[in-house]
């Protein structure tokens, strides 16, 4: 019986959230998303925070560090080859020329707060590209990335960590159903966002 309990989806996710591999996975996901990966890191960070709320802060920090590193790489690539980066971004789902123009307008003043955004909207990579060809300040970009992650991902992670803390027995009892609902919520979000 104990062996079957250890194989439940939540047990495996708990083990991942508690391990260094979980932090690395979150960092790598956020790093890739900050450059070209089209799926937001909220997906993995939120799930692990739901399953293991006590790790939410560490997971959020790993995600933010990954986003900072990815944004630094994308910024350097933009400075070296802005047309190639623009072409790459426009090839990604839901990114279009008006979005790039709006991001450039938003960051033109050089205020890092212009990158902060609640809810779905302009991807971080678009703001990074706009910042690199606009204000260009590395410290301003770093501040903007952190503010973006706090405003954009922070509420999701906080809400899921609270839910995970409030109803752990229910979530574990219905772990497969919880995972299906979680996956369906993100599939619906992307179906709307990418349409």
d(CA 82, CA 130): 10
- Position 5 scores a pLDDT of 47
Provide the CB-side half-sphere exposure for 95 (13 A, CA).
23
The helix-helix angle for 42-51 and 154-166 (nearest 10°) equals 20
Judged against a pLDDT cut of 90, whether residue 193 lies above it is answered with: no
How would residue 103 be classed by pLDDT, with cut points 50, 70 and 90? very high
Look over the chain and give the mean of its residue pLDDT values, rounded to a whole number.
Answer: 92
| Model confidence pLDDT, tens digit, residues 114-135 | 999 776 689 999 999 999 999 8
- Position 12 scores a pLDDT of 92
- Position 27 scores a pLDDT of 98
- Position 81 scores a pLDDT of 97
Entry pTM: 0.91
User: Which 3-state string (H, E, C) describes the chain?
Assistant: CHHHHHCCHHHHHHHHHHCHHHHHHHHHHHHHHHHCCCCCCHHHHHHHHHHCHHHHHHHHHHHHHHHHHHHHHHHHHHHHCHHHHHHHHHCCCCCCHHHHHHHHHHHCCCCHHHHCCCCCCCCHHHHHHHHHHCCCCHHHHHHHHHHHHHHHCHHHHHHHHHHHHHCHHHHHHCHHHHHHHHHHHHHHHHHHHCC
Q: What is the mean pLDDT of residues 12-41?
A: 95
């Amino acid at each position: 019986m104990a062996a079957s309990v250890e194989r439940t989806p939540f047990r495996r996710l708990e083990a991942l959230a508690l391990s260094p591999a979980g932090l690395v996975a979150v960092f790598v996901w956020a790093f890739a998303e900050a450059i070209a990966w089209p799926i937001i890191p909220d997906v993995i960070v939120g799930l692990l925070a739901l399953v293991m709320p006590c790790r939410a802060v560490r997971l959020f920090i790993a995600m933010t560090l990954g986003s900072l590193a990815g944004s630094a790489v994308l910024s350097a690539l933009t400075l070296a080859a802005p047309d190639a980066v623009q072409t790459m971004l426009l090839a990604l789902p839901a990114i279009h020329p008006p979005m790039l123009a709006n991001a450039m307008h938003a960051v033109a003043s050089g205020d890092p707060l212009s990158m902060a955004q609640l809810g779905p909207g302009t991807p971080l990579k678009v703001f990074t590209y706009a910042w690199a060809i606009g204000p260009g300040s590395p410290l301003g970009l770093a501040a903007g990335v952190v503010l973006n992650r706090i405003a954009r991902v922070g509420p999701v992670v906080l809400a899921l960590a609270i839910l995970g803390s409030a109803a752990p027995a229910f979530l574990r009892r219905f772990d497969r159903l919880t995972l299906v609902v979680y996956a369906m919520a993100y599939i619906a979000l992307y179906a709307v966002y990418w349409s």
